């Protein structure tokens, strides 16, 4: 058979299959549209159709249908289609099924920019807001690309870089919200992704902005087809990959920024629908783009319909973005779990440090802890002056001491606990970028505590570490079940972490959308605050931390053998499976204890072991001592800085630790790439 015959023969079957898929998808879209209109209006189908054809609204139900139900349907179709189109475009460009505006960091950058605009320029027109959102998205994506590099776009490095950027941008946004609570009240519903409309203004504003999607459909298919041949193959056929990638990326970011400006963050559509399109037979670039666009419109319509139904059952409105995340997170695991394998070990690497810990390092870390404790106890922010800085130091009174020492103990113990959890995970998985916040351990504890507060009632501090441990243990079981088939590949574990983080954000945004005092209490706890820890809780926290630290030291030999390989461990008489399970339970206990008392702490578990390694602690025993000291220094400094930086206002230690640790972590990764 000739080459021409080979290419031509499958064409009829391919187009017949594609036609069937499109007809089925259009039918489902039409049914979803009718169902959505039925849920949002009491009018009959004939009455709705007459209004659509131009009959003037007369009754209240007519007005509600024309100015609320119809704009919501149109907006859901537009936003769902565009987010799916962008997700398909990004995944085809990078050949990475986990890439989307969410995992690339674009959504978090646009969200941070719009939070800042809402605080400092609240009267800015939507056109100006969209440009700020575009700037935030571009900044985040440039940062992610700088970290991952071109070679890391097709694997886990870009996902890890995107998660790090997402956590950092989220911490900065949280700081802005906490400092400007009254100016950000209206952001909560919008941040959860809200499609509720009262007129056609947002549709009229968004429609010309999203017309860029037509340009993407026209120019993208041929470059995407050539990119499948690789850079060399595309260059041999006259395609300069660099400029076309920049153009496609900028068009994608413009679409994302415009959609987020209009309806808030609805991110999972762009991650899931391209995977569904490929699983249903979409093969060519144009086919995948068009079919993803159609599925995105259908998917957002269906999830928004479910949100409308749930709002009738619940006492509060369920935002559309929350419904998308609650459905999308499990769906993501289902569709992508088989595509990740043990070969996904490609990961970012941090710079190498000293060969061994110097004597100065062993003295420097404890000295830094002592200095920070003295600062926390004796420093008086309102008495500080650059001419006479010593005046700001005085021994605290009994009252001041009783207020400050629980905060210091809590911050120090949180640093120890998260450092131990990160160190053990990195040794167990043999992945230098494993940490409780990346793999979902902290996310599970947070989810359990927030869910307990929302659905059972009471303060989040009343839930306690046992509820948090149940959440972490649930994540552990999920990791073990999903990871066993893939031999505990990092991709599966990171996928679970992404999904659980999205679930937590969805639940938290649902709570924050109420705008109640409970919302601010939860967001204050989520930022990692030491404010409300009592004397008894601090002592109890310290006792638990000492116990967990002692258990970690006792398992030092296990960590050494397991990090060398299961075969080495078994040759030395260690039951590797049983030891791994015990160590994972120890990680859950560390995360649960810290999260229950202080809230989720990001980057400390990731960064503290690396800093200890940079200082020369390459073996387990030096790391077990030095990494907790580094964690203590980071948390104590964050707590002190949050206290004095904007005095008399205060910033939570967890938020400052995420900003400082995330910035330094990204600097280390970017420095290695630049070199």
Q: What confidence tier does 187 reach under pLDDT thresholds 50, 70, 90?
A: low
With both helix axes pointing from N to C terminus, report the angle between 126-148 and 241-263 in degrees, rounded to the nearest 10. Answer: 130
Asked if the model's pLDDT at residue 1 lies above 50, the reply is: no
- Do 309 and 389 sit in the same domain of this protein? no
Q: Are residues 173 and 209 in the same domain?
A: yes
Q: What is the rounded distance in angstroms from the CA atom of residue 179 to the CA atom of residue 300?
A: 34
Whether the pLDDT of residue 63 is over 70: the answer is yes
107 close to 267: Cβ distance less than 8 angstroms: yes
Amino acid 549: pLDDT: 92
Concatenate the DSSP letters of all residues of 529-571 into one string.
--TT--HHHHHHHHHHHHHHHHHHHHTHHHHHHHHH-HHHHHH
Closest by alpha carbon to 641, among 659, 614, 622, 627? Answer: 659
Please report whether residue 510 resides in a domain.
yes
Q: How far apart are CA 495 and CA 508, in angstroms?
A: 20
pLDDT at residue 262 greater than cutoff 90:
no
* Range with the largest mean pLDDT of 211-215, 278-282, 489-493, 546-550: 546-550
| pLDDT band at 419; cut points 50, 70, 90 | very high
Give the pair of three-digit tokens for residue 223.
């470059």
| Domains identified in the chain, total number | 2
Is residue 296 scored above 80 in pLDDT? yes
Residue 297: its pLDDT value, please? 92
Which segment of 227-241, 334-348, 438-452, 655-669 scores lowest on mean pLDDT? 334-348
- In which band, very low, low, confident or very high, does the pLDDT at 15 lie, cut at 50, 70 and 90? very low
Domain that holds residue 319: 25-52+60-336
Same domain, 240 and 363: no
| pLDDT the model gives residue 7 | 33
Band (pLDDT 50/70/90 cuts) for residue 392 is low
Residue whose token pair is 């990959």? 241
Question: What pLDDT is recorded for position 298?
Answer: 92
Find the CATH number of the domain harbouring 65: 1.10.3470.10
Q: Could you tell me if residue 564 is inside a domain?
A: yes
Residues 303 and 414 in one domain: no
Residue 287 lies in a domain: yes
Q: Is residue 2 part of a domain?
A: no
**Backbone torsions φ then ψ of 57, nearest 5 degrees:** -70, 140
Please give the pLDDT value at position 629.
92
**Mean pLDDT for the chain overall:** 78
Residue 635 belongs to some domain of the structure: yes
515 exposure class (CB count in 10 Å sphere: 0-12, 13-18, 19+)? middle
Query: pLDDT tens-digit profile of 599-654?
Result: 788 788 888 888 888 888 778 888 899 999 999 999 999 888 888 877 777 778 88
Task: Flag whether 331 is in a domain.
Answer: yes
Highest-confidence segment of 23-32, 180-189, 465-474, 553-562 = 23-32
What's the pLDDT at 3? 40
320 pLDDT exceeds 90?
Answer: no
**Has residue 8 got a pLDDT over 50?**
no
Residue 459: which region, alpha, beta or left (left: phi > 0; alpha: psi -120 to 50)? beta
Are residues 234 and 280 both part of a single domain?
yes
For the cut 90, the answer to whether the pLDDT of residue 85 exceeds it is yes
The structure's pTM equals 0.78
* Of 304-308, 441-445, 452-456, 475-479, highest mean pLDDT: 304-308
pLDDT in tens, 365-391: 889 889 888 888 887 776 555 555 555
**Same domain (yes/no): 324, 447:** no
Q: Does residue 101 register a pLDDT over 60?
A: yes
CB 297 within 8 A of CB 304: no
- The whole-number average pLDDT for the span 644-672 is 79
Residue 548: which pLDDT band, with cuts at 50, 70 and 90? very high
On whether both 503 and 542 belong to a single domain, the answer is yes
Q: What is the pLDDT of residue 269?
A: 85
Looking at residue 232, its pLDDT comes to: 65
Quickly state the pLDDT bin for 489 (edges 50, 70, 90). low
Percent of the chain with pLDDT over 90: 9
Instruction: Give the HSE-up count for residue 80: Cα atoms under 13 Å, Cβ half-sphere.
Output: 30
Question: 155 with 344: CB under 8 angstroms?
Answer: yes
221 and 304 assigned to the same domain: yes
Q: How far apart are CA 342 and CA 487, in angstroms?
A: 6
Query: Cα dihedral angle (594, 595, 597, 598), rounded to 10 degrees?
Result: 90
pLDDT at 546: 93
Looking at the structure, do residues 372 and 516 belong to the same domain, yes or no? yes
Please check whether residues 453 and 305 belong to one and the same domain.
no
Q: Give a yes or no: residue 6 inside a domain.
A: no
Cβ neighbour number for residue 536 with a 10 Å cutoff: 9
pLDDT of residue 150: 66
Kindly state the DSSP code that residue 184 receives in the 8-state scheme: G
Segment 164-173 shows an average pLDDT of 80
Per-residue pLDDT, 498? 67
Measured N-to-C along each axis, helices 212-219 and 70-94 cross at an angle, to the nearest 10 degrees, of 30
Q: Are residues 155 and 292 in the same domain?
A: yes
Specify the range with the lowest mean pLDDT, choosing from 333-342, 403-412, 422-431: 333-342
Taking 90 as the threshold, does the pLDDT of residue 416 lie above it? yes
User: What are the backbone dihedrals phi and psi of residue 576, each rounded to the nearest 5 degrees, phi first?
Assistant: -65, -40
Band (669; pLDDT cuts 50, 70, 90)? confident
Distance, CA of 249 to CA of 146 (rounded, Å) = 15
Model confidence at 5, in pLDDT bands (50, 70, 90)?
A: very low
Amino acid 486: pLDDT: 59
Task: Give residue 261's pLDDT.
Answer: 83
User: How does residue 456 score in pLDDT terms, banded at 50, 70 and 90?
Assistant: confident
Residues 485, 622 within the same domain = yes
Least confident of 64-73, 254-263, 348-357: 348-357
Percent of the chain whose pLDDT exceeds 70: 78
CA–CA separation, 388 vs 171, rounded Å?
34
Q: pLDDT confidence of 345, banded at 50, 70, 90?
A: very low
Measured CA to CA, the distance from residue 325 to residue 331 in angstroms comes to: 10
> Quick check: 487 pLDDT over 60?
no
CB atoms within 10 A of CB 415: 32
pLDDT range class, residue 58, cuts 50, 70, 90: confident
Last residue of some domain: 302, 336, 370? Answer: 336
Residue 351 lies in a domain: no
CB neighbour burial string for 329-340, b if at least 16 within 10 angstroms, e if fewer: bebbbebbbeeb
- pLDDT tier, 428 (very low <50, low <70, confident <90, very high otherwise): confident
């Amino acid at each position: 058979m000739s080459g021409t015959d080979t290419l031509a023969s499958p064409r009829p079957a391919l187009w017949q299959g594609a036609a069937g898929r499109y007809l089925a998808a259009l039918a489902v879209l039409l049914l979803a549209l009718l169902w959505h209109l039925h849920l949002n209006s009491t009018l009959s189908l004939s009455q709705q159709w007459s209004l659509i054809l131009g009959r003037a609204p007369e009754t209240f139900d007519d007005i509600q249908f024309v100015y609320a139900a119809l704009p919501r349907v149109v907006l859901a179709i537009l936003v769902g289609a565009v987010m799916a189109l962008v997700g398909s475009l990004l995944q085809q460009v990078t050949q990475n099924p986990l890439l989307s505006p969410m995992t690339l960091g674009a959504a978090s950058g646009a969200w941070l920019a719009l939070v800042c605009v809402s605080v400092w320029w609240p009267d800015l027109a939507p056109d100006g807001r969209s440009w700020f959102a575009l700037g935030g998205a571009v900044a985040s994506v440039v940062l992610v690309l700088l970290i991952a590099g071109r070679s890391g776009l097709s694997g886990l490095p870009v996902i890890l870089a995107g998660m790090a950027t997402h956590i950092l941008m989220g911490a900065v946004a949280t700081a802005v919200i906490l400092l400007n609570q009254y100016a950000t009240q209206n952001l909560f519903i919008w941040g959860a992704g809200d499609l509720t409309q009262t007129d056609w203004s947002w549709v009229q504003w968004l429609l010309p902005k999203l017309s860029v999607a037509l340009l993407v459909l026209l120019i993208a298919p041929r470059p995407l087809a050539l990119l499948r041949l690789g850079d060399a193959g595309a260059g041999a056929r006259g395609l300069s990959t660099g400029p076309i990638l920049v153009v496609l990326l900028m068009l994608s970011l413009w679409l994302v920024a415009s959609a987020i400006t209009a309806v808030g963050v609805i991110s999972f559509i762009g991650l899931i629908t391209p995977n569904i399109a490929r699983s249903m037979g979409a093969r060519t670039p144009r086919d995948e783009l068009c079919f993803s666009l159609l599925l995105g419109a259908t998917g957002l319509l269906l999830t928004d319909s479910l949100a409308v139904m749930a709002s009738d059952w619940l006492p509060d409105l369920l935002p559309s973005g929350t419904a998308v995340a609650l459905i999308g997170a499990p769906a993501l695991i289902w569709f992508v779990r088989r595509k990740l394998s043990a070969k996904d070990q490609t990961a970012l690497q941090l710079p190498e440090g000293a060969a061994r810990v110097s004597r100065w390092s062993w003295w420097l870390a404890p000295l830094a802890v002592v200095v920070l404790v003295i600062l926390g106890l004796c420093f008086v922010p309102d008495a500080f002056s650059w001419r006479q800085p010593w005046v700001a130091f005085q021994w605290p009174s009994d009252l001041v001491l009783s207020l400050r020492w629980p905060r210091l103990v809590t911050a120090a113990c949180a640093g120890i606990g998260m450092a131990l959890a990160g160190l053990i995970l990195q040794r167990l998985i043999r992945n230098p970028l494993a940490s409780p916040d990346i793999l979902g351990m902290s996310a599970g504890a947070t989810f359990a505590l927030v869910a307990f507060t929302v659905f059972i009632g009471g303060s989040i501090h009343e839930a306690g570490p046992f509820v948090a441990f149940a959440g972490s243990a649930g994540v552990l079981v999920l990791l073990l079940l999903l990871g066993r088939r893939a031999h505990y590949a990092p991709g599966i574990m990171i996928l679970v972490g992404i999904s659980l983080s999205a679930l937590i954000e969805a639940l938290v945004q649902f709570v924050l959308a109420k705008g109640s005092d409970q919302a601010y209490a939860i967001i204050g706890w989520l930022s990692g605050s030491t404010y409300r820890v009592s004397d008894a809780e601090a002592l109890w926290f310290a006792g638990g931390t000492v116990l967990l630290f002692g258990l970690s030291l006792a398992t030092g030999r296990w960590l050494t053998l397991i990090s060398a390989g299961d075969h080495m461990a078994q040759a030395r008489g260690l039951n590797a499976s049983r030891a791994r399970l015990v160590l994972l339970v120890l990680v859950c206990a560390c995360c649960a204890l810290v999260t229950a008392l202080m809230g989720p702490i990001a980057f400390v578990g990731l960064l503290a072991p690396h800093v200890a390694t940079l200082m020369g602690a390459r073996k387990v025993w030096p790391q077990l001592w030095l990494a907790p000291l580094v964690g203590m220094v980071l948390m104590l400094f964050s707590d002190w800085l949050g206290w004095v930086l904007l005095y008399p206002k205060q910033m939570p230690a967890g938020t400052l630790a995420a900003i400082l640790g995330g910035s330094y972590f990204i600097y280390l990764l970017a420095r290695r790439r630049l070199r």
